[in-house]
Amino acid sequence: MAPEHRPRGRASPGLGQGRLIRTGIERALRHVRHDPLQIPALIWKNLCYPFTAEATELRYDRAMGIDTAGVIEADQLGHGAGAKCYHATPPGIAEFMIAQVAPRARDFTFVDVGSGKGRVLLLAARHPFRKVIGVELSEQLCRIARQNIRSAAHRLNCIAPIEIVHLDARNFVLPTGNCVLFLYSPFLNEVADPVINNVVQSFEAEPREIAVLYYSDVFPARLSLPPFVTRELPAQPRDRRYRYRRFDLRAVMFLLAPERGHALAGSA
């Protein structure tokens, strides 16, 4: 298991592109005594680094006072078959998707399935949802998320209560009342299929409004069948902090409601 990452805190007020470039050059020059022939490539790499998605994401974390950036492979987290590596939802995409349901936040509980280090939880909790719940299989990521919430929730003006549940998503029982489920391509379909089946069973046991916000390139087949109603989300933002921009991922909202009368079907 990878070592636990600690929040980095706020960036110093003077940290800017110029300082990042100087730091990159200094890092490259430290390699001179090892392999001088590699210096041109190292200088170019470090000059470009401040403009990469990775560096932009780290600056976002520092500004927010949280630790959510980076990639951790599934085997380092102890995940089994069907799991994917950890990488956080790009903030611009998360905010865009949350905005689809934010006008009716008071009517819904927000559930992030595969909540990782808690970035989406903090963004959602800035809206007046009845409650914000994160479901995460990795105990390591749960610890980091709880630390992020303790250190940043008040400063980020979070107003909804946040709960983190350390659990396999296939065993999670949806709360009663209207729900929003957020899924940022958290696992393969062999895991996603039973999760969506549980959503349908919960809806059949208690008919109410359920919205599934799903960001992925491949969606579980069950979501395309009744009683789900599909709503494509056009005009999705381009987030510079997104390291997988080259892939054809898109945001889709899948809706469940008694007699198909879902108010979110017409949300802006």
Looking at residue 118, its pLDDT comes to 98
pLDDT of 28 reads 60
Question: Which are the contacts of 232, defined by CB distance < 8 A and separation ≥ 6?
Answer: 250, 252, 253
CATH number of 86-266: 3.40.50.150
Sign of torsion, CA 239 90 213 223?
positive
Residue 117 buriedness (CB in 10 A; 0-12 / 13-18 / 19+): buried
Segments of the chain assigned E as strands: 71-72, 86-87, 109-113, 131-136, 162-166, 179-184, 210-216, 229-232, 250-256
Give me the tens of pLDDT residue by residue for the chain, a chain 268 residues long. 444 443 344 444 444 556 666 666 666 666 555 666 666 666 556 666 566 778 888 889 999 999 999 899 888 887 766 678 898 998 989 999 999 999 999 999 999 999 999 999 999 999 999 999 999 999 999 999 999 999 999 999 999 999 999 999 999 999 999 999 999 988 888 889 999 999 999 999 999 999 999 999 889 999 999 999 999 887 677 655 455 455 578 899 999 999 755 667 654 4
Residue 3: the pLDDT is 42
Predicted local confidence at residue 209, as pLDDT: 97
Instruction: State the pLDDT at residue 43.
Output: 59
Extract the tokens encoding 151. 């250190």
Enter the tokens of residue 99.
Answer: 């905005």
Taking each helix axis from N to C end, the angle separating 39-48 and 17-29, rounded to the nearest 10 degrees, works out to 160
**Where are the domain boundaries for CATH 3.40.50.150 in the chain?**
86-266
Which pLDDT score is estimated for 187? 85
- Please, what is the end-to-end C-alpha distance for the chain in angstroms? 42
pLDDT of residue 2: 40
**Per residue in 26-61, is it b (16+ CB within 10 Å) or e — as a string?**
eebeeeeeeeeeeeeebbeebeebbeebebbbbbbb
Q: What is the pLDDT, as a whole number, of residue 55?
A: 81
